[in-house]
């Protein structure tokens, strides 16, 4: 695991920052949420991000605003794929949050990139030139209790890809 005091040199696609950690923490949509990257290894296979409950992230009822959770969860899988598959265009195709509990504490987003899933994506890209992997990760309350499940489908395409006549992405 990477010590967060020492910054990795590689940059994820689309973030023009000195390191992935500062790139995520300083990314304009995240800056007001005051996120903190707790873990980000060199391969983007393990990511943990703290989403603090504060006046910017709190809804009128006093719990975490689901829109902040969705905003943070949205690019995580695509950024991990973008780092691994830099010769391709990568974006979030769909995102679903399944709220299990009210978020009345700071939340921790935990993402893992399974080596088997990586191998499947590599095979799909070799055979079809495209892939649409589904990633499942989650938010946890401060005590470690599951708060919300995340399902994120990522589109990985050859750069310059244009949808066919069917309009399918």
Q: Tell me the CATH number at 48.
A: 3.10.129.10
Q: Does residue 25 form part of some domain?
A: yes
Residue closest to 45 by CA, chosen among 136, 95, 118:
118
- Count of structural domains, the chain: 1
Q: Does residue 42 form part of some domain?
A: yes
Q: Does residue 106 form part of some domain?
A: yes
Q: Does residue 56 form part of some domain?
A: yes
pLDDT (tens place) for every residue of the chain, 169 residues total: 444 443 334 444 444 545 788 888 988 889 989 999 999 998 999 999 999 999 999 999 999 999 999 999 999 999 999 999 999 999 999 999 999 999 999 999 999 999 999 999 999 999 999 999 999 999 999 999 999 999 999 999 998 888 763 455 5
Q: Does residue 3 form part of some domain?
A: no
Q: Does residue 4 form part of some domain?
A: no
So what's the pLDDT on residue 169?
54
Q: Which distant-in-sequence residues (6+ apart) come within 8 Å of 82 by Cβ?
A: 12, 13, 14, 88, 90
Identify the bridge partners of residue 51 per DSSP, sorted by sequence position: 107
Residue closest to 163 by CA, chosen among 89, 95, 96:
89
Region of residue 77 (phi > 0: left; psi between -120 and 50: alpha; otherwise: beta)? alpha
- Structural domain span for residue 61: 20-158
Residue closest to 92 by CA, chosen among 11, 140, 151, 40:
151
Say if residues 123 and 130 touch (Cβ distance below 8 Å): no
DSSP secondary structure letter of residue 80:
H
Q: Does residue 9 form part of some domain?
A: no
So what's the pLDDT on residue 123?
98
Identify the bridge partners of residue 98 per DSSP, sorted by sequence position: 149
Q: Does residue 31 form part of some domain?
A: yes
């Amino acid at each position: 695991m990477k010590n967060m005091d020492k910054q990795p040199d590689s940059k994820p696609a689309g973030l023009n920052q000195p390191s992935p950690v500062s790139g995520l923490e300083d990314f304009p949509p995240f800056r007001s949420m005051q996120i903190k990257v707790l873990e980000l290894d060199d391969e983007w296979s393990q990511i943990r991000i703290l989403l603090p409950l504060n006046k910017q992230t709190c809804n009128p009822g006093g719990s975490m605003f689901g829109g902040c959770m969705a905003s943070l969860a949205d690019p995580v899988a695509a950024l991990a794929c973008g780092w691994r598959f830099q010769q391709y265009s990568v974006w979030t195709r769909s995102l679903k949050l399944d709220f299990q509990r009210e978020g009345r504490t700071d939340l921790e987003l935990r993402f893992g990139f399974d080596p088997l899933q990586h191998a499947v994506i590599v095979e799909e890209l070799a055979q079809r030139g495209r892939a649409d992997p589904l990633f499942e990760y989650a938010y946890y309350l401060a005590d470690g209790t599951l708060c919300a499940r995340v399902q994120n489908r990522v589109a990985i395409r050859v750069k310059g890809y244009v949808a066919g006549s069917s309009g399918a992405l």
